[in-house]
Amino acid sequence: MTVVRDLRPGEEPFLGEMLYAALFWRPGGERPPPDRVLAHPQAAMYHEGWGKPGDVAVVAEEDGRLVGAAWYRFFTEEVHGHGFVDEQTPELALAVADGHRGRGLGRRLMEAIHERARRDGLARMALSVEPDNFAKRLYESLGYVDFEPGDGHGRMLLDL
């Protein structure tokens, strides 16, 4: 049985694992070592120093093992990722571990993080996705729409 719950203290390194999975979602091919990728400033901003005000994460746990995560963080005009829209809109990340995809976990994680964001009074969420990523269909089915199509960032926005 899979349970979706809030990230607990001490589980923060799992966000790095999931970020790596999200960045290298395509099967096969050469992959640089996770420590090198996760230390890069464009990746580190999504997981390092987790626990700042506004940081929110939910995880999927199956038989005592974490198998997926959805999390968001607020960024600034000066420091932000590809999904940045504005300082009031958090940027969302999602990943499900290999071997656990295609079973609805991504949808459950997204629904849980959206519910949390609504409870926290957020108006909208943003993310960035490559056009050929299969997850884009999930995001569209949840109500995300392209934000400034053709800008090269693959940003999508959901009004909560």
Give me the tens of pLDDT residue by residue for the chain, a chain 160 residues long.
Answer: 899 999 999 999 999 999 999 998 877 778 888 898 889 888 888 899 999 999 999 999 999 999 999 999 999 999 998 899 999 999 999 999 988 988 999 999 999 999 999 999 999 999 999 988 989 999 999 999 999 887 877 999 999 9
71-77 contacts, C-beta under 8 A, 24 or more apart: 71/7, 71/15, 71/18, 71/46, 71/113, 72/113, 72/117, 72/125, 73/45, 73/46, 75/45
What is the C-alpha separation between 158 and 156, in angstroms, rounded? Answer: 7
What the block records as the tokens of 57 is: 């994460």
